[in-house]
Chain A
Amino acid sequence: MNTPSENSRHWPLYEVFVRARGGLDHKHVGSLHAADARMAIDHARDLYTRRQEGVSIWVVPSKDITASDPAESESLFEPARDKIYRHPTFYEIPDEVKTL
C-alpha cells in the first residue's frame, strides 16, 4: 500500500513565480518537478533564488494553467489595435490648459 503507483512516481510539473522585492508582482521564472506543492516551494527556493532573487514564491501545478491559443491570438488581441482613443495621447489639448 505504501508502494507508490507508477503514476504517482512521475512527479508533476509546477510553474514557479517569484516576487523579487516587496511591492512588485510575482513573475513567472520557470518550472520544475516536485512530488507535492511543499517540495515544489523548497526546490524553487534552491533553483530560482540562490542569489537573493526573491522574497516570496508561488508554485502552481502546470496542468491547472489554462493558456490562450496562439491560433486565436489575432481575434483576441487585434481588436485592441485600432482603439487608439483608449490612450491619453489621442486627445489634443491646447497648451494653455494646464494640469490635464
Chain B
Amino acid sequence: MYTQALDTQGSDSSPVDEAVLEQRFLARVDAEEKIEPKDWMPARYRNTLIRQISQHAHSEIVGMLPEGNWITRAPTLQRKAILIAKVQDEGGHGAYLYSAAETLGVSRDQLIEQLLSGKAKYSSIFNYPTPTWADVGAIGWLVDGAAIMNQIPLCRCSYGPYARAMVRVCREESFHQRQGYDLMMHLAQGTPEQKRMAQEALNRWWWPALMMFGPSDANSTHSGESQRWKIKRFSNDELRQKFVDFTVPQARFLDLSIPDPLLRWDETKQRHEFGPIDWTEFDQVLKGNGPCNAERLAARRNAHAAGAWVRDAAAAYAEKQRRRSATLAA
C-alpha cells in the first residue's frame, strides 16, 4: 500500500541520528518485532531486501516456463488441470512477491525492466530444460521441495510484507511438491520405460536442486548481515543438508537412485554425507551460460511484447471510462 506514496526518508538526518535509529532498529529485530514499510530501516537492509525479494519474484515468473512447456502435452486431462493450477500458482507467487518488493520503494515497472534487460538475477534452476514429462514430476518433487525448505524459515523473516507473502506461498507450495512426487510415483511404479524416464529426470535435477541453496557457507557473501537482520534464519549448508536428509528416503521409496556415488549415511553424525557440488557449473549458469538462459529471457521478452496491446487497451478503456464519468459529473 505504501509503494507509490512512499515518502523515502531523506538523507538529511545526521550520522548521530542514524546510529541511534539503527540501534533501535536492531533492538526491534532482536525482540522478533516485524519491520513494516514505513518504519525506519538501514539503507543496506532495504537494498538487501529489494534484491532478495525481487530475485525471488523473478524466479517465480521465469519458473512458469520450464513446466508451462508441458501443459499442452500432459498425458491426461487431470494432469493437465493440475499443471495449469500449479503454473498459475507460480505466477501468483511472483505477484505477491513483486508487491512485497514494491513496499520498499521500487516500482513494478523498474522490476520488470530489470528482469527483461537481463540485469536481474533469478534462480539458476530455471535455466535447465525439461525434455520429458518426468521432468515435470522431478521439478515438483525436488525443485519445489528445495524451495519449501528455503521458504519456510522466510515466513518468520523480520520484514513484515515479505513474511506475510511467504506464508501465503508456503501454504500453496506443499501441493506443488506432492503432485510432483505423486507423478514420479506413478512413473516409478509403471513400465520399465516409465521408470527409466523417472530415473533420468532425477539424474538431471538432483545436482541443480542442491545448488538452489546457494554457495556453501564459506563462500556466501550476503549471509552474515542477513542472519543478523533475521532475514535469513539458517545457513545455505544447513538447509541443503536438511533437504538431502529428507529427500534420500523419498527416493528410496520410489526405488530410484540418487546420482551421487559418494552419498552415504553417517551413523555418528546422524546425517547423509554427499559428494562435492560442481560450483563451476553453478557460476556458469548464474552468469548466463546455462542451457536455457537465453531461451527463458527471450520467452519473457516475447510475452511482455505480445501483451503490450492488452495493457494499452486496458489503460485506454480505463481512461475512456474516467473521462466519461467526469463528463457525466459535470
Contacts and interface: CB of A to CB of B under 8 A. Distances in A.
Interface of A: 2-5, 8-13, 15, 30-33, 35-36, 39, 46-47, 50-51, 62-63, 65, 67, 69-70
Interface in B17-59: 36, 38-40
Interface in B170-206: 172
Contacts of B95: 32, 47
Contacts of A50: 85, 88-89, 92, 172
Contacts, number: 76
B1 A9 contact: no
A10 B1 contact: no
Determine chain B's interface SS by DSSP, over half rule: helix
Interface stretch (B230-238, B244-252, B314-322): B314-322
Given A30-B99, A32-B99, A9 B3 contact: no
A51 B89 CA distance: 11
A65 B1 contact: yes
Contacts of A70: 36, 38-40
A44 B1 CA distance: 15
Contact of A30 (B3, B38, B40, B96): B96
Contacts of B89: 50
B267 interface: no
11 contacts: A3-B312, A4-B316, A11-B314, A13-B3, A35-B314, A36-B322, A39-B314, A39-B318, A47-B95, A50-B172, A63-B4
A52 B319 CA distance: 32
A13 B85 CA distance: 25
Interface of B: 1-5, 36, 38-40, 85, 88-89, 92, 95-96, 99, 102, 108-109, 164-165, 168, 172, 311-312, 314-319, 321-322
Nearest to A51: B172
Contact of A67 (B1, B108, B316): B1
Contacts of B85: 50
B4 A13 contact: yes
Contact of A3 (B314, B316, B318): B316
B301 to A, nearest CB: 18
Q: Report, nearest first, the 7 A-B pairs whose CB atoms are least far apart.
A: A35-B314, A36-B318, A4-B315, A35-B318, A62-B1, A31-B99, A8-B315
Given A8-B315, A50-B89, 12 more contacts: A10-B109, A11-B315, A12-B4, A32-B99, A36-B321, A47-B95, A51-B172, A62-B1, A63-B4, A67-B1, A67-B2, A70-B40
A67 B37 CA distance: 11
B107 to A, nearest CB: 8
A36 B102 CA distance: 19
Contacts of B40: 70
Given A13-B3, A30-B96, A62-B5, A8 B39 contact: no
Among A11, A15, A35, residue most surrounded by chain B Cβ atoms (within 10 Å): A35
B326 to A, nearest CB: 14
Contacts of B3: 13, 31, 62
A35 B109 CA distance: 14
A11 B107 CA distance: 11
A30 to B, nearest CB: 6
A9 B312 contact: yes
Contacts of B92: 46-47, 50
A67 B95 CA distance: 23
